[in-house]
Amino acid sequence: MSDAPVLLVTGASRGIGAAVSRLAAKQGWRVAVNYVSNRAAADAVIEAITAHGGEAIAVKGDVGNAADINSMFETVDRHFGRLDGLVNNAGIIDAAQRVDEMSVERIERMMRVNVTGSILCAAEAVRRMSSKHGGTGGAIVNISSMAAIIGSPSQYVDYAASKAAIDTFTIGLAREVAADGIRVNAVRPGIIDTDIHASGGLPDRARDMAPSIPMQRPGTAEEVADAVLYLLSPAASYVTGAILNVSGGR
């Protein structure tokens, strides 16, 4: 039986989460690929991993639902019997709106998925990885956004606020569980060329924003994955509570 470390990546059927899963497998992690509804997309990520000799499973679950989160981690327990890393990647944006147009439902869903979901997943990971619970330690990487700093006025102030919460959660949790052998860091992507912009009704956003980015181009999901894998790796053994901008200088 393999004793390779096990990583759970939320929202991993496409975009940054899929790139993190593929790169993690190449670097020796066994990967639990979380998806909400698109099983075929999750299976495609798993096929890409197994084609290179890696090991991965698909784990269904909505991080906006506490019961789903619980069963997701139980599936990982049953299949792998251990957990060494978590990437809180699942996240949503909504159509560009001013705050005075936003519905309560929109704001609550944004916070439930982006903030509550990340905190509940981290709690499940800490229960398994903490030396205080008999675990052997581990690493958590949260996916924030440059929106946390910019604030995204007239677009997504709710999304920006949810990512600022992720930054603060990262700093606090890192200090809370440092003595448990768990490192907690975050990556702040800038404009990355993924499908999330289409979900916000602006499919060309990544290309349109290029002139405003010092490096004059959007980033790729793979470039974000490189930063995430660094933070998960032993190369970052003394790094905790850090938030790394991956934004082409933006």
List active site positions: 159
Question: Which stretch, 51-59, 149-157, 176-184, 191-199, contacts ligand NAD (CB under 6 A)?
Answer: 191-199
Backbone angles phi, psi at 231, to 5 degrees: -65, -25
**CB of residue 188 to ligand NAD, shortest distance in Å:** 7
Pick one of 9, 62, 177, 227: the residue that binds ligand NAD (CB under 6 A). 62
**CB of residue 205 to ligand NAD, shortest distance in Å:** 8
Q: Are 8 and 60 in contact (CB under 8 A)?
A: no
152 is an interface residue for ligand NAD by CB under 6 A: no
Long-range Cβ contact pairs of 101-105 (< 8 A, separation 24 or more): 102/158
Residue that the structure tokens 């470390």 belong to = 5
10 is an interface residue for ligand NAD by CB under 6 A: yes
192 is an interface residue for ligand NAD by CB under 6 A: yes
What DSSP string runs through 67-118? HHHHHHHHHHHHHHS---EEEE----------GGG--HHHHHHHHIIIIIHH
**CB of residue 90 to ligand NAD, shortest distance in Å:** 3
Backbone angles phi, psi at 83, to 5 degrees: -145, 135
**CB of residue 100 to ligand NAD, shortest distance in Å:** 23
Mapped onto helix, strand or coil, the DSSP state of residue 66 is: helix
24 is an interface residue for ligand NAD by CB under 6 A: no
76 is an interface residue for ligand NAD by CB under 6 A: no
**CB of residue 22 to ligand NAD, shortest distance in Å:** 13
Pick one of 189, 228, 231, 232: the residue that binds ligand NAD (CB under 6 A). 189
**Beta strand 85-88 with 56-60: parallel, antiparallel or unpaired?**
unpaired
x/- letters, 86..105, toward ligand NAD (CB under 6 A): ---xxxx-------------
What gap in Å lies between CA 200 and CA 33, rounded to an integer?
24
58 is an interface residue for ligand NAD by CB under 6 A: no
Q: Are 246 and 218 in contact (CB under 8 A)?
A: no
What Cα–Cα distance (Å) separates residue 206 from each residue in 15, 100, 203?
13, 26, 8
Backbone angles phi, psi at 52, to 5 degrees: -100, 15
Pick one of 116, 130, 145, 155: the residue that binds ligand NAD (CB under 6 A). 145
Pick one of 59, 83, 143, 229: the residue that binds ligand NAD (CB under 6 A). 143
Interacting residue ranges for ligand NAD, rule: CB under 6 A: 10-11, 13-17, 34, 36, 62-64, 89-92, 113, 143, 145, 189, 191-192, 194-196, 199, 221
